[in-house]
Amino acid sequence: MVDDKRHTGLPPGIALAWGVMPSAGRRGPKPAFSVERIVEAAVEVADAEGFAGLSMPKIAERLGVTGNALYRYIRSKEELVVLLADAGWGPPPESVRQAGNWRDAATEWTRAMIARALAHPWVLDVPVHTAPVTPHLVGWLECFLEGMADAGLGEQDTLGCALLLDGYARSVANLAHSLNQSGRAKATSAALEFLLPLLGDRGYPRTAALMTNMAYIEDDLPQGDVEFGLNRILDGIETLIGERGTEH
Amino acid sequence: MVDDKRHTGLPPGIALAWGVMPSAGRRGPKPAFSVERIVEAAVEVADAEGFAGLSMPKIAERLGVTGNALYRYIRSKEELVVLLADAGWGPPPESVRQAGNWRDAATEWTRAMIARALAHPWVLDVPVHTAPVTPHLVGWLECFLEGMADAGLGEQDTLGCALLLDGYARSVANLAHSLNQSGRAKATSAALEFLLPLLGDRGYPRTAALMTNMAYIEDDLPQGDVEFGLNRILDGIETLIGERGTEH
DNA sequence: ACAGATCAGTGTAAGGCACGAACAGTTTTC
DNA sequence: GAAAACTGTTCGTGCCTTACACTGATCTGT
């Protein structure tokens, strides 16, 4: 089921994700479960124990099966992780499609990214090694391209915008998640208490001032901070659209 | 040497990084090496085998020592990783200080981030779980704040800009690094070959068009692509500065 | 000067991980 | 009915982090 020779050399798991495996040979006993079930169980483990706590035995345990049984469905853990990331981000948001213009669409898209990342924080820990090639992730890109269509930008420019907002959403979500974690919050404030006296003396006056003032606010990431960077990027894109328009 | 009770509750490795360990009790035999030497060796291992290939035994081997000996200097691997990241990014770039205005400074800062990330690609794989608290990383922030001083923005705004450019630099560097890796490049083009026929039929027309056109360019990340997002962000910041100025 | 506290590095072991290979049982096809 | 294909299990390899007991070297107070 797994060792399809036609697609060797593919990045792991892609063929699986698109459901084009060679469902020809149906000879042995019926599989006890499916790749979808495995991914589902993996999501549960990641939700419960984070990306670092994800292991094949733990996934298998949820399916009532030995760890090695999973390798009948999947070539490697890395392959599973690709599918896991796809499941974690999930399908692209519908709200983008309903936006009236590119700016609203991009705003919704970015907010949705952040929301999804916070719903499954471990997606931020999944290393990104390739362009999006799984269905949902391609869906997010398609969704973005659709929303940006009326901006009148070229493909290269639009793709650049996607990279820009994607990176921003990940940064913000990562920061917000760190702040939300109670353990980290305590540790961070302890670190601040330790650092603040040092910073001024060691040649970091601006950082010292900044952290002093921030120390009182850092309970939670205010919505304003999320919107800040987003608006900067969108303003920058708007400027670009103006330039491209007059260039023509 | 390591078990300083005054700083318990601190995120791992911070006290070490700032060199404020309690160098009082000097009783036993002299240490064969130092935390700096360990970090140095760790950098070598990471350069050679990547972040995933980093392990305590391998680091210790370079120092002619058993793996467990390192735990006399360091509490956990995670602690070492914090110091490793600090060493990987290195000191903030001097070029920012010489920039004449905030825009040039921010440009230099971001380019330097990307350059450093490409010099030690494993820094991108180090999970970011706290605000910058190690000397070099704080240095980068200080350096940015200094460069942005003449923009006249408030602390909150300036910090937002830093987050913005930091996220962008990491995104771009990550993408560039992926493309540079020969193995990945081959795999990605194989994936494209597999995906392109599918995309159109499955409801991703825009992505299909995009990837078709991109397929010929994707050899390397052109410098233009790097500058693109940077200029969008800077334009957006410029707009903000204008707004804040008239608000006053 | 010497005794004891203290700290360095080693050895060993426990527990966990990804993964490979041989195996036994089940279901389909010829 | 036999052979082939496919299933999950078991056992084994080689990694890894971390805990803990232990041997020696070295410094401090007396």
- pLDDT tens digits, A95-114: 999 999 999 999 999 999 99
pLDDT of residue A21: 63
Which amino acid is it at A217?
I
pLDDT of residue B19: 72
Of the candidates A187, A75, A21, A154, which has an alpha carbon nearest to the alpha carbon of residue B82? A187
Residues A121-130 have a mean pLDDT of: 92
Give the residue with greater pLDDT, B10 vs A91: A91
Q: Which residues contact A170 (CB under 8 A, 6 or more apart)?
A: A113, A117, A124, B167, B171
Give the residue with greater pLDDT, B23 vs A46: A46
Question: Does strand D come within 7 Å of the CB of B71?
Answer: yes
Q: Is B75 on the interface with A (CB under 8 A)?
A: no
Q: How far apart are the first and last CA of chain A?
A: 54
Q: What is this structure's pTM?
A: 0.91
Q: Is A164 on the interface with B (CB under 8 A)?
A: yes
A&B contacts, CB < 8 Å: 206
Q: Which residues of B178-191 are buried (b: 16+ CB within 10 A; e: fewer)?
A: bbeeeebbebbebb
Residuewise pLDDT in 10s, chain B (248 residues): 444 434 445 655 677 788 775 555 567 777 778 889 999 999 999 999 999 999 999 999 999 888 889 998 888 898 899 999 999 999 999 999 999 999 999 999 999 999 999 999 999 999 888 889 899 999 999 999 999 999 999 999 999 999 999 999 999 999 999 888 867 777 777 788 888 888 999 999 999 999 988 766 656 667 888 899 999 999 999 999 998 878 76
- With CB atoms and an 8 Å threshold, state whether B207 touches A141: yes
Angle between helices A102-119 and A135-147 (to 10 degrees): 150
| CA of A25: nucleotide with nearest C1' | D5
Report whether pLDDT(A61) > 60. Answer: yes
CA distance A134 to A239: 33
Tell me which chain B residues have a C-beta less than 8 angstroms from the C-beta of A237: 232, 236
- With CB atoms and an 8 Å threshold, state whether B14 touches A195: yes
Q: How many Å lie between the alpha carbon of A15 and the closest alpha carbon of chain B?
A: 8
Q: How many Å lie between the alpha carbon of B118 and the closest alpha carbon of chain A?
A: 14
Write the residue in A129, A206, A237 that is nearest to B142 by C-beta. Answer: A206
Q: Given phi > 0 = left and psi -120 to 50 = alpha, else beta, which region is A148?
A: alpha
Q: How far is CA B44 from CA B50, B74, B122, B178, in A?
A: 9, 18, 11, 21
pLDDT of residue A24: 57
Write the residue in B149, B202, B240 that is nearest to A232 by C-beta. Answer: B240
Q: Is B113 on the interface with A (CB under 8 A)?
A: no
Determine whether A53 is exposed, middle or buried from the number of CB atoms within 10 Å of its CB (0-12, 13-18, 19+). exposed
Give the residue with greater pLDDT, A183 vs A162: A162
- With CB atoms and an 8 Å threshold, state whether A233 touches B233: yes
Write the residue in B142, B159, B232 that is nearest to A204 by C-beta. Answer: B142
Question: Does strand C come within 7 Å of the CB of B62?
Answer: no
Which amino acid is it at B213?
N
Do residues B161 and A210 lie in contact, with contact meaning Cβ atoms separated by under 8 Å?
no
Of the candidates A215, A217, A221, A222, which has an alpha carbon nearest to the alpha carbon of residue A189? A215
Q: Is B196 on the interface with A (CB under 8 A)?
A: no
What 8-state DSSP symbol labels residue B59?
H
Q: Where are the alpha helices (DSSP H) in chain A?
A: 14-17, 35-49, 56-62, 77-89, 102-119, 135-147, 155-180, 182-201, 205-214, 223-247
What 8-state DSSP symbol labels residue A243?
H
Report whether pLDDT(A199) > 80. Answer: yes
Do residues A99 and A108 lie in contact, with contact meaning Cβ atoms separated by under 8 Å?
yes
CB atoms within 10 A of CB B233: 25
Q: Is B79 on the interface with A (CB under 8 A)?
A: no
Query: A3 falls in which pLDDT band (50, 70, 90)?
Result: very low
State which residues between 72 and 101 of chain A bring their CB within 7 Å of strand D.
72-73
Query: A181 falls in which pLDDT band (50, 70, 90)?
Result: confident
